[in-house]
């Protein structure tokens, strides 16, 4: 039995334009029907995303989720039967006053990255400036590990840059081969640590949980759940070094999510 399924939103549960009913290949009912199956089975649905708390609140209401993990793991939000929220912060290496987003801005960390990677990195507008509290959101193409080392060398050793997957659009302001989403986060803030925090709060063992996503940041959740699924065929780096409890599904987006739910419930 898997009492909790942790589901990424964009590129997994939701398709182009944030639609529940679309994959890059066309319309689908599969994701919506899978959510009904989850609810009928009494399994908790927890949404996981780089989106803000406010954005996740609306998504959780629409999709009837029991909770959400926002800003790539910085906030764990649980909803009760009356839809009241309990928020647990997961700020990793940040232990200062106020919010990490403000501290990053005051320290100039975002500006440092933009100056270091001209035409390779830019704010992921308009979402980069909408109610963010703990992470900075960028788009472009670079080596996040190299960028994290550069941050540390510049005095920002409490921060790291994480890859949150492909953005299937082009931008005239960028001179890159492909576009990916990146989050500047306090070290230790990621989806895996937030899932582990949620699991511990509810006394769930690893075998009782599963996660579904589409990106490298989603694959990290494999360390914190019993089973992890990556839809859309996965990325080459992941195929070369997938952990034993990670299954790569060829189906895209919501169709892949539905296939993962089917496999999880079959074992229940």
pLDDT of residue 150: 98
Please tell me whether residues 180 and 224 are part of one structural domain.
no
Q: Report CA-CA distances (Å) from 228 to 16, 20, 103, 236.
A: 23, 21, 33, 17
* Model pLDDT, residue 168: 85
For 210-226, b where at least 16 C-beta lie within 10 A, e where not — what string?
Answer: bbbbbbbbbbbbbbbbb
Statement to judge: residues 80 and 196 lie in one domain: yes
Q: Are residues 173 and 108 in the same domain?
A: yes
**pLDDT for 110:** 97
252, 198 Cβ separation under 8 angstroms: no
Span 214-239, pLDDT tens digits: 998 899 999 999 999 999 988 877 77
pLDDT of the residue at 2: 56
CATH at residue 28: 3.40.50.1000
* pLDDT on residue 139: 98
Looking at the structure, tell me whether residues 30 and 83 fall in a common domain. Answer: yes
Spell out the residues 6+ positions from residue 30 whose beta carbon is closer than 8 angstroms to its own. 254, 255, 257, 258, 259
- The whole domain housing 109 covers 100-186
In angstroms, rounded to a whole number, what is the distance separating the alpha carbons of residues 111 and 262?
45
Question: What does the pLDDT look like over 98-113, one tens digit per residue?
Answer: 999 999 999 999 999 9
Q: Look at the pTM and tell me if it is higher than 0.75.
A: yes
Which of 15, 55, 42 lies closest to 258, judged by CA? 15
Bridging pattern class, strands 26-27 and 44-48: unpaired
Assigned domain for 95 exists: no
The residue from 123, 157, 186 where one domain ends is: 186
- How many H-runs (helices) and E-runs (strands) does the chain carry? 9, 14
pLDDT at 235: 80
Q: Residue 120: which residues within 8 A CB-CB, separation 6 or more? A: 140, 141, 142, 174, 175, 176
Sheet holding 85-89: strands in order across? 85-89, 75-79, 67-70, 44-48, 4-8, 209-213, 227-230, 246-248
Last residue of a domain, which of 147, 162, 186? 186
Of 162, 186, 210, the last residue of a domain is: 186
In a domain, 237, yes or no: yes
Phi-psi region of 30 (alpha: psi -120 to 50; beta: other; left: phi over 0): alpha
Query: How many distinct structural domains can be found in the chain?
Result: 2
Q: Residue 258 has which token pair? A: 């539905």
State whether 15 and 62 are in the same domain: yes
Report d(CA 115, CA 154) in Å as an integer.
Answer: 13
Q: For position 238, what pLDDT does the model report? A: 78
Token readout for 197 is: 């925090």
- Mean pLDDT of successive 10-residue stretches along the chain, which has 268 residues: 87 93 93 96 96 94 95 94 87 96 97 98 94 97 97 98 91 96 97 97 95 93 97 82 90 96 89
The C-alpha angle 8, 218, 53, rounded to 5 degrees, equals 45
Pair (180, 241) in one structural domain:
no
């Amino acid at each position: 039995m898997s009492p909790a399924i942790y589901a990424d939103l964009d590129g997994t549960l939701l398709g182009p334009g944030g639609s529940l009913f679309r994959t890059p290949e066309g319309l689908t009912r599969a994701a919506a029907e899978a959510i009904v199956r989850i609810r009928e089975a009494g399994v908790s649905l927890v949404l996981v995303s780089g989106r803000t708390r406010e954005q996740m609140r609306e998504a959780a209401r629409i999709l009837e989720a029991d909770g959400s993990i926002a800003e790539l793991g910085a906030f764990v939000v649980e909803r009760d039967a009356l839809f009241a929220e309990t928020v647990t912060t997961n700020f990793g290496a940040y232990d200062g006053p106020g919010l990490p987003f403000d501290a990053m801005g005051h320290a100039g960390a975002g500006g440092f990255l933009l100056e270091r990677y001209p035409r390779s990195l830019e704010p992921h507008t308009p979402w980069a400036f909408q109610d963010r509290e703990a992470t900075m959101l960028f788009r472009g193409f670079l080596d996040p590990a190299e960028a994290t080392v550069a941050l540390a060398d510049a005095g920002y050793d409490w921060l790291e840059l994480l890859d949150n997957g492909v953005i299937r659009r082009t931008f005239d302001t960028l001179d890159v081969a492909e576009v990916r989403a990146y989050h500047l986060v306090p070290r230790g803030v990621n989806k895996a640590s937030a899932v582990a925090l949620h699991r511990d709060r509810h006394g769930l063992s690893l075998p009782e949980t599963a996660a579904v996503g589409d990106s490298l940041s989603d694959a990290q959740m494999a360390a914190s759940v019993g089973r992890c699924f990556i839809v859309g065929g996965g990325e080459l780096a992941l195929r070369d070094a997938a952990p034993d409890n990670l299954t790569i599904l060829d189906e895209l987006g919501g169709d892949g999510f539905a296939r993962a739910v089917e496999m999880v419930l079959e074992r229940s």
